[in-house]
């Protein structure tokens, strides 16, 4: 009878301790694995009239919206997701086609930066000059990072970063 009572007590304590495992770092379901590279599907040609603005300007609104004119970086060579106390940092390394790429950004594919069907997707963009030499791979390497909050990570199962020729994806 003592053994049965002790076994029941121990199993009850172990089971009660498992309730906090969902948000713990010890839970393997909370970890993102290594990223994998895949080729990017070609975009379909949409009929867009560049003469029609997306929004109407008003006489009451004088500030023009900042337009970022970055182009996709040629290749995504590495993607790492590092946990922090408030969420995670997505660090991406890319390889541009020419030297001198600057103002590198991870731009979310959707406007509200929320996951769609558990997928959080970004584009790696940079301002890239046309008149510079191609140079070595070391000279063309660019880096960018983006912070993702814990609330956004809770909804995401996959993080995708897209470049010009490939994409890197990391899943839980």
pTM for the model stands at 0.67
The confidence score (pLDDT) of residue 6 equals 85
Contact indicator for 70, 105 with CB cutoff of 8 Å: yes
Query: pLDDT per residue over 76-102, tens digit each?
Result: 999 999 999 999 999 999 999 989 899
DSSP 127-141: E--SSS----HHHHE
The confidence score (pLDDT) of residue 42 equals 66
């Amino acid at each position: 009878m003592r053994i049965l009572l002790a076994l029941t007590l121990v199993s009850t304590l172990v089971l009660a301790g498992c309730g906090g495992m969902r948000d713990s770092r010890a839970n393997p379901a909370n970890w993102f694995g290594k990223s994998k590279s895949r080729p990017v599907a070609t975009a379909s040609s949409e009929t867009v009239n560049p003469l029609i603005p997306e929004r109407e300007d008003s006489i009451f609104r004088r500030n023009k919206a900042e337009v970022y004119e970055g182009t996709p970086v040629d290749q995504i060579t590495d993607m790492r997701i590092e946990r922090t106390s408030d969420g995670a940092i997505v660090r991406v390394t890319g390889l541009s086609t020419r030297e001198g790429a600057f103002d590198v950004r991870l731009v979310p594919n959707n406007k509200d930066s929320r996951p769609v069907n558990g997928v959080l997707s970004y584009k790696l963009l940079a301002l890239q000059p046309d008149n510079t030499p191609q140079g070595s791979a070391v000279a063309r390497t660019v880096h960018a990072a983006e912070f993702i909050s814990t609330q956004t990570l809770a909804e995401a199962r996959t993080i995708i970063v897209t470049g010009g020729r490939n994409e890197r994806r990391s899943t839980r």
